[in-house]
A = this chain, B = another copy of it.
Amino acid sequence: MRYFKLTIEYDGSDFSGWQVQPDRRTVQGELYRAFGELSRGEIKITGAGRTDAGVHATGQVASVRVETDLSAGAIHRAVAAKLPADILVKQTEEVPPAFNARFDARSRRYDYIFMMKETSLWRGRFLPVGSGIDVHGMRKETRGLVGLHDFTPFASSGGPSGSKRCRIIRAELIEARPLLILSVTADRFLYNMMRSIAGTILRVGRGKGPGIKEILESGNRAEAGPTLPPHALYLVEVTY
């Protein structure tokens, strides 16, 4: 048995998300297929973040257990040749057997990218929001995310039960006109949490609705903003 850590970029547009599902095209499913042709025995692939349908990644991480004699470099080249064009393994490293991409992750960073003008050309990559939004107000809200909070109001039903406490390590609103990037690093993210946070902060940018702090204190899901579409969300980095 050999153990590898993969750093992966993908275009989420044509995937039913990360997680393998019968009869659906998923990123994990494509990786299973590619590694299946290289392994003499059973394979196991674990991703750090189970991104939804349409969500992109520039720094997803997966741990892979595979029965092979190939080196990391040979695995890297062989898998690259077998993967479709919308998945790119950026790095393949050999790791100790105990490494688990999901449970060993210390933090994950997601970026939600707004575009401050109308666009026909980039609508599948960024969320067009027009130019008349209050970036200053949005930045204030973004800063208010940092710390340990119960994110129940920002978790979609359908996620697992259990604690909804997440520690936000860093939260920034980066202005790179015409792009506006909401970048959040946390120890964990609840189901749809990042898209719901983005929806709340955008609503503030439009001068409407309660802010993050107020919603966290209320504990009320109905207070949170809309869950924004997946195509402007990127899993950017996982740290260990």
Contacts and interface: CB of A to CB of B under 8 A. Distances in A.
A120 B214 CA distance: 40
Nearest to A88: B120
A71 interface: no
A124 B58 CA distance: 16
A220 interface: no
The complex is assembled from copies of this chain, and their number is 2
B85 A121 contact: no
A97 to B, nearest CB: 29
Contacts of A121: 9-11, 56, 58, 86, 88
Interface in A185-224: none
A123 B85 contact: yes
A157 interface: no
Contacts of A20: none
Q: Which 3 A-B pairs have the closest CB atoms?
A: A88-B120, A11-B121, A86-B120
Interface of A: 9-11, 56, 58, 85-88, 90, 118-121, 123-124
